[in-house]
Every structure is written in C-alpha cells, then in structure tokens.
Amino acid sequence: MAIKYLLDEHVSPSYRTQLLLRKPELRVWAIGDPNVPPKGTPDPDILCWCEENGFILITNNRKTMPVHLADHLAGDRHIPGIFILNESMGMGKIIYELIFIAEAAEEDDYQDRIHFMPLL
C-alpha cells in the first residue's frame, strides 16, 4: 500500500483514529505530528512538504486550496493529490472511500489534482 495521507490541521483527528482502526498499516499523519509541518504552517508550505514526502493532503479547505494548488503547479512543482472532504457525507463514507483509494490506487492516480469527495 503506497498511498499516504496527511490530514490538515482543521480535519478532525477522529479521521485518523477511524482509518487506523480499520486499516492499521495505512500511513496517516496529521499537521503538528513529529517530522510534519507544525500547526499554523501556510498552505503553500504544506503542499511543498506533501510533494517532498509523497503524501496526499486531506483537507476541508474548499476556498483557497485550489488557488494554492494552481500556484504550486505554476512553479513547476507537483503534488501526489488533494482530497477535499464533504462533511455532509458522514465520516463512515469518507473513511470507506479513503481506505478503498489506498488499497486500489496507484501512487500517481491523483497527482497534481484536487478531488472533491465523494469520489466513488
């Protein structure tokens, strides 16, 4: 399983808990963890970290993240992907989709794109 997720600081830590309960071998880190950008890190810096470390960003930032991604790509940079949560889906459906993606996707399937959940 090559897909790795980084949870934005505004995403509930319950997502990591639930993902790891169902799929313990999944790599799920969160902003503020050791060796990860600290809370309050600007989004452009988080995108650079995700690129350098191969993590898909999980966020609920619908307003500015598309702009930050466009700027990132304009700088000839790349990112494994961004998933924007739809809180009205319910956590169970989101967890199901993230696990399904981690099990079925290739590392570059979501590269340089934002995907709004639900994907399935």
Summarised one tens digit per residue, pLDDT across range 12-47 is 999 999 999 999 999 999 999 999 999 999 999 999
pTM (predicted TM-score) = 0.95
pLDDT value at residue 3: 95
pLDDT value at residue 102: 94
Mean pLDDT over 48-72 rounds to: 95
Summarised one tens digit per residue, pLDDT across range 63-78 is 999 999 999 999 999 9
pLDDT value at residue 2: 85
Q: Which amino acid is at 40?
A: G
